[in-house]
Each structure stands twice: as structure tokens, then as C-alpha cells.
Structure 1
Amino acid sequence: MTEAELYTVYKGVYMPASIHPPQSLKYFEEFSFRSDDIIIATYPKSGTTWMQEIVPLIMSGGDPASVETLPNWQRVPWLEVGQSQLNLEQRPSPRMLATHCQYNVMSPSFFTAKPKVIYVMRNPKDVFTSSFHHHRMASFLVNPGPQTEFLHKFLDGKVQFGSWFDHVKSWLNAEDKERIMYISYEEMIMDLKDSVARIAQFLDKSLDAEVTEKIAERCLFKNMKQNKMSNYSTVPRELMDQTKSEFLRKGTSGDWKNQLTAPEAEHFDAVYKDKMKDVKYKFVWD
């Protein structure tokens, strides 16, 4: 199926229509935030599922029941999916919520309530690589087709949730940066224990060294991948055919080197250099 058949265009970006129908987008636009909400914001395939494991464990003081009893889309719901059946309005604080949306399209109450945000970034070459495999297994996304063709779509922002460059810049340019924690997928790979400790500190959650260690151990990719409440294995094959590609595939950094050809990588670098030339933030992968 084509983009026109599978996607809706919302504020200039593609979104899978089956997951984000008009009523879901209306729910997102009108959502009422609280000041003590915790928002996990990411561009797709940047470490969202990982953070949906880490944050509940931190907030529960390391209690594994927090990630073993509910699928991640229920424990940390997607705002733009409009899961009104989860009665988010009735949930006790602090609520944990997720979004793939850019900063500038958040609902009005987001800017007045000023909840805390954890914004996770990842090397866009690895984002592309993960996205390419994800598009092969998810029926609600356009078949990626030839790799070079999909690469041009990705670099042009003609994929779900638009341009990686626009997305990252929108959150890096956000106001009230003191309420946003910027962290990269690569930092988490390099030192997960330190990352857990920093996230806990940002969330004003006091954890002793032993609990921090246990959370980090549990959230190692190889361990998290075994959690049926996190690996999307309960999702029907009609939606996600994990025989084509696992949802939690490798969890590594630098896999793009096995995916992109030398000319593709060179083209990617040229586009990246141009698009990010005015960005002052120092990325781990630069």
C-alpha cells in the first residue's frame, strides 16, 4: 500500500492513519498535562521502548512488577494514540507518558503545566537502519522498498513523524530547558548504570547503589528483550510480523555500518552536515 493509503498528514508530517485516527489526534491536541507528569519524547526507533522500561523501574524503586504486569504501551501510554480507554485523567500522579511528536505541536497545557521531559536521541544512521527493518515487519507502515529509495525518503522527512532533523532541532530549541533531560541511546549503551542514576536524579527519585545496579542489569538489552510485556510479542502478527524482523532487534550502536553502502553513508553525512550546521549541541556520535 502507498503513503496515501496508509498515512494521514498531520501538521505537515506523515502519521500511520490506523494508529492515529482523527479522534486520537483530537485527544492529543486537547490533552491536559500536569506539572508532575513525566514525558518520554523520542523520534521513532531512538530508544523509546528502552526508556519505557527504565523510567517505571526507577519510579517504583526497582519493583519488577512495574514492568512485568502491563505492556509498555499501557504503563507508559502514547499520547497521540489517544488511548482514552486507559483513563489517563484518572491515573494518580506522577503519570508516565510517551510521544513521538515534535515540541511545537504539543498541546497548549504542555507549555503551561511544564512537566518534566526525557528526550532520547540516537545516531540518525542507526535510526534509519532500525526504521528500515521496522518498516519491513509493521503492516501499518509503507513497505520500505529498495534501501536507497527509503534512505531518500528518510532524509527528506517523508516517513512517519517527519524529518529526524526537524524533530531533534524542535526539542533542542525548546524553552524551559531546565525541565528537559537530553540523553542519547549511545550514552545508555556506554554506561547504563550511570544513565539510570542520572535519570533518577532528574526525576528526584532517590535510589541506593544496589537498586540502581539492579535496574541497570534488568534493562540490559539482552534481558529486556525477554520481557513479553516489552518485546511486542503479544501484538498480532497481522500488525507486526516478527518473523520478518524482531521489534527489539539488536540494541546496538553502529549497526548502520553493516547496512549503508559507502556512497549512501557519504550522502547521509553531506545531508547531516547541511541540516545540522547551526546546531550547537554536542552529540556523542559527532
Structure 2
Amino acid sequence: MDGPAEPRIPALWDTQENNISELSQKLSGEYFRYKGIPFPVGIYSPESIRMVENADVQDDDIFIITYPKSGTNWMIEILSLILKDGDPSWIHSVPIWKRAPWCETIMGAFSLSDQPSPRLMSSHLPIQLFTKAFFNSKAKVIYMGRNPRDVVVSLYHYSKIAGQLKDPGTPDQFLQNFLKGEVQFGSWFDHIKGWIRMQGKENFLFITYEELQQDLHGSVKRVCQFLGRPLGEEALGSVVAHSAFGAMKANAMSNFTLLPPSLLDQRHGAFLRKGVCGDWKNHFTVAQSEAFDRVYREQMRGLPTFPWDVSEDASPDPDPSPSPPEASEPPNP
């Protein structure tokens, strides 16, 4: 018997990516630059990013903005549940990338005509490339940050299985590229410093992966308050239960197993890997940690303290045992 998602899949590909096999063939692992920022060829194009810059925004739009590997899909799952008052039927019947389509991809969110209101959209764009119309609108942005040490580990693993990304090389090479901003979407430091300037505006919420990890219930309540969508305790409990790591990992509409290996080769590790904070300590050597800290202190001087700053006094293992690359938690296109 066909499951509820079966009829939706061909329509999804036709609408959002036009032809999935054609898309897969265009993934070269090469990057192009748009206004100085690297983007993977095949998933994005200069035209698709230009379209975002000049797109129209509706006042009830909700944007999830992250640097890659910062918990984007976790927030999509949470918002999908909040918008349905805790009812999980939407997250169990529609793929996650269809619920909150990406703005900057080829055939991106702004080119889709069938989105329900309010539109839920995702983006990795730095603030200087984001939709100009947003800044004069009442549309809302939820910016999710994450410890960049965990981001770099997660992005390294993801680069091993994502068809559109360059081979990351050795961990040392990849760490250097990350610190220099020579990875997709450019510098993590520039990205967060750009968006954090929006703090204090009533249509901008800054929240972190670490806060969700420490207090998912409280974080969901905070998001509900920001959106002006308060939920009763039963609905709130349903959002928390269905957006927990184990629930997402078991949900075929959220764990990216619907994607073909040409786009995402999960034969070398599941996307939803650990869902924890601080895993970087199992991967960084002492030398790598010290090199990272030097750049971090220089780049983030004068900025407020982030949740991950207070927990970084612990040193990594002097000689962590190498582990085979796996996929990170919720992936990005």
C-alpha cells in the first residue's frame, strides 16, 4: 500500500528541481564566486542568487537563516510543527526541503507559486546578499548560530558525502580553508557578525543550537512568542516530542533518505549523526584547537559572549582516536 508521501515525490522534483537526474549530472564539486562568496556549481547560480537579492517579500514571511551545518533542518522541523499547532501530519507527509524551500537554489523558494501563507523559507546567504526588500518589511528572520568548532567538523563530514561540494582534503587542510572562508558561503565569522547586527529589531530572533540542546521546551516557547503564535501545553509538548533528534532521525520526510546517492551518498554515514554539542573535542588535536582559538579571538573581539564561549575552557583530547567520516546532523542542499 502506498504511503502518504508517495504521490508527492515526482511533483516535488518537477516543481522544485525540474529534473533530479539532470541536476545530479551538473554537480561538479567546483565553486563559482558571487560578489566574493563561493557557491557550489549546479545547486546555485549567479542568476538564482541575484533573484533572491531582488525578490519581493511578504510581511508574514518567515525566514530561517543559518551558516551551513548550524541546525537549519532542526529549526525547520520545529517551525513546521508550530505552524500546525503541534500536529505532526505535515512533517510526516511532506519532505523537509519542500516545507521550507531554499531561497538561493536554482528553482528556489521565490520561484515557487504554490507556497501556503505564511511562507516558510530557508537561506544560508550572508546579510549583504539577502533579499533587499526584507529590510523594509515586517517579515521575520530566525537566525540560528552554532559553535563554529562543531560547524567545521560537521561540514567536513558533510563534504565527504554531498555531491555538490569539493572534496575536503585532510582535516588540517579543511580547517585552514574554513578559517580563511574558502568554503561554501564564505567566512563563518563574517556571516554571524553580519547578521548579529540585526539583534534588537523586533522581526529578528537570534537563537543557538546549544540553547535548543540545553532546553528544547524553553526554546520552542521562545520561538512561539517571537512568531506571535503561543501554544498550549499539549501542543507545545507535541512540538518538542516530534522535533527531538530521535524523532527526526526516524522520519523519512526529515532524514534525507529520499535523496538519491548522486546528491547525497548516505552509504557512507547517515545524515543525522549524533545531534550533540561539543563533538569537536573528539576530532580536533590540541594544535588545531589552539590555531582555531587564535583566529576566533581575533575575529570575534568586541562581540557579546555566545553560549559556546563559556564551555570552551576544556581542551580536546591530546591524541583523539581517528574516526571514519560520517554525515552531520540535519543537512543542507
User: Is this a same-fold pair by TM over 0.5?
Assistant: yes
Q: Does 1:249 align with 2:281?
A: no
CA drift of 1:84 comes to 5.2
Identify the range of structure 1 (267-276 vs 92-101) with the bigger mean alpha-carbon deviation.
92-101
Identify the range of structure 1 (117-126 vs 236-245) with the bigger mean alpha-carbon deviation.
236-245
Q: Quick one: distance in 1 between partners of 2:273 and 2:74? A: 12
Runs of 4+ in structure 1 deviating by more than 4 angstroms, as ranges, are 84-87
Count of residues in Structure 1 that have an aligned counterpart in Structure 2: 283
Question: Which one of the candidate residues 231, 237, 252 is aligned to 1:207?
Answer: 231
Q: Does 1:11 align with 2:35?
A: yes
* Counterpart mapping for 1:102-181 below 5 A: 102-174=126-198, 177-181=201-205
| Counterpart for residue 194 of structure 1 | 218
TM-score in terms of structure 2 length: 0.81
Q: Could you list the runs of 5+ residues in structure 2 that have no partner in the other structure?
A: 1-27, 310-333
Q: Does 1:283 align with 2:320?
A: no
Q: In the superposition, relative to structure 1, how do residues 188 and 175 fare at CA in structure 2: closer, same or farther (>3 Å)?
A: closer
| Counterpart for residue 69 of structure 1 | 93
* Counterpart mapping for 1:255-270 below 5 A: 255-270=279-294
- Identity percentage of aligned residues: 43
CA drift of 1:208 comes to 0.5
Q: Quick one: distance in 2 between partners of 1:85 and 1:173? A: 25
Q: Quick one: distance in 2 between partners of 1:86 and 1:68? A: 24
Specify the code of the residue in structure 2 equivalent to 1:266. Answer: E
Contact 2:29 2:40 survives alignment (8 Å): no
TM-score in terms of structure 1 length: 0.94
Q: Quick one: distance in 1 between partners of 2:42 and 2:106? A: 12
Q: Quick one: distance in 1 between partners of 2:94 and 2:40? A: 24
- Find the residue that maps to 2:231 and give its secondary structure: coil
- Find the residue that maps to 1:145 and give its secondary structure: coil
Specify the code of the residue in structure 2 equivalent to 1:215. Answer: V
CA drift of 1:106 comes to 1.2
RMSD of the alignment, in Å? Answer: 1.8
CA drift of 1:27 comes to 2.4
Q: Could you list the runs of 5+ residues in structure 1 that have no partner in the other structure?
A: none
| Counterpart for residue 238 of structure 1 | 262
* Counterpart mapping for 1:70-109 below 5 A: 70-83=94-107, 88-109=112-133
CA drift of 1:261 comes to 0.6
Q: Quick one: distance in 1 between partners of 2:48 and 2:178? A: 25
CA drift of 1:175 comes to 7.0
Q: Quick one: distance in 1 between partners of 2:238 and 2:199? A: 34
Q: Quick one: distance in 2 between partners of 1:92 and 1:134? A: 31
